[in-house]
Amino acid sequence: MALPDAFLDIARRVNNWGRWGADDEIGTLNLITDEVVRAAAATVRGGRRVPLALPLRQDGVQTGLIPGRVNPLRTMVALNQEIFGPGTIATSDDVVTLGLQAGTHWDGLPHVSHSGLIYNGRRADSVTAHAGAAFSGIEKVTSVVSRGVLLDVARALGVDRLPGDHAVTPEDLCAAEELAGTAVRAGDVVLVRTGQMRAYLGGDKEAYAYPSPGLSIRTPEWFHARDVAAVANDTLTFEIFPPEVENLWLAVHGLDLVEMGMLQGQNWNLEGLSAVCAEEGRYAFWLDATPEPFVGGTGAPVAPVAVL
């Protein structure tokens, strides 16, 4: 089934292929310049740190809804072992198996494709079973440090958690920007809070997964117009699920990752940050959110920290 004209029209308007050269592999992260980082550092006032990652655990956020995205299985491979002989220093070690996008993570640019292509016009079959992503693998993302801006859509709309059928619109983002009292600017990393994480933190993984509020197909143009470097939110699927356009699954993924070359993050715990930002009356902060550099990875875990 061909992608609808509505999708293709937006794709043409937000496309960044060639913007940073034919060899570019990091997309909108190019917008995080030295000047942007220096300005981001100025947002730190008191040094208050807010962690945004979910704990990586065997009974974690994944429900089986997304095939193969397994929760972490951690196994001990050494228990107080005196490897250099009796009476020497003993060590304990463990090994883990997990889906790279199982918990709090970034989606890499080759995570999705459409029309046989990934970001910057490269062939989708450049992602192979043995090597993973030959282009734009997550290891190419060597740093994500910038000004973060929390767009607390749920708080701006006066609710703790958006309904499961709520598609976050550009108008919602503008309302949250007004609440934040700061304009989103080039090179920012935007964090969109829907409140959906409250379901998971309350012990209901199924309700967290489906149905879920999330970003509308109209939002990529909003981020593109503001030259946002990356976007993350507090849901399993990032975009509204099930989709707002019947049978158009992962449309926002296709626009953000493939067309714009913009990282997107999922399963970020923004509840503590929401409370802190409301308490301090400011929604911009220093954000450190560099993913683990799995070579060829189409995504990776991240343990982001906001510093105010």
Render pLDDT for 214-261 as a digit per residue (tens, 0 to 9): 999 999 999 999 999 999 999 999 999 999 998 899 999 999 999 999
Environment class of 66 (CB within 10 Å of its CB; exposed 0-12, middle 13-18, buried 19+):
middle
The answer as to whether 24 is a domain residue is: yes
pTM exceeds 0.85: yes
The answer as to whether 201 is a domain residue is: yes
Q: What is the pLDDT of residues 121-160, one digit of tens each?
A: 999 999 999 999 999 999 999 999 999 999 999 999 999 9
The answer as to whether 77 is a domain residue is: no
Contact between 14 and 255 (Cβ < 8 Å): yes
Closest CA to 300 of 114, 110, 50: 110
- Is the pLDDT score of 1 beyond 90? no
Within 10 Å of residue 155's Cβ, how many Cβ atoms? 21
Q: What are phi and psi of 51, to 5 degrees?
A: -75, 145
User: How many structural domains are present in the chain?
Assistant: 1
Residues 6+ apart with CB under 8 A from 137: 25, 108, 110, 294, 295, 296, 297, 298
Residues 6+ apart with CB under 8 A from 115: 3
Mean pLDDT of 190-214: 97
The answer as to whether 282 is a domain residue is: yes
Helix (H) / strand (E) element for 35: namely helix 34-41
- Looking at the chain, the whole-number percentage of residues with pLDDT higher than 90 is 97
**SS3 at position 222:** helix
The answer as to whether 89 is a domain residue is: no
Environment class of 42 (CB within 10 Å of its CB; exposed 0-12, middle 13-18, buried 19+):
exposed
CATH number (domain holding residue 293): 3.50.30.50
Average pLDDT, whole number, for the chain?
97
Length of the chain: 308
The answer as to whether 84 is a domain residue is: no
Contact between 291 and 168 (Cβ < 8 Å): no
Domain span at 233: 5-65+101-307
**SS3 at position 308:** coil
Q: What is the pLDDT of residues 80-93, one digit of tens each?
A: 999 999 999 999 99
The answer as to whether 119 is a domain residue is: yes
- Tokens 């997964």 — which residue? 209
- How many secondary structure helices (H) and strands (E) does the chain include? 9, 15
The answer as to whether 81 is a domain residue is: no
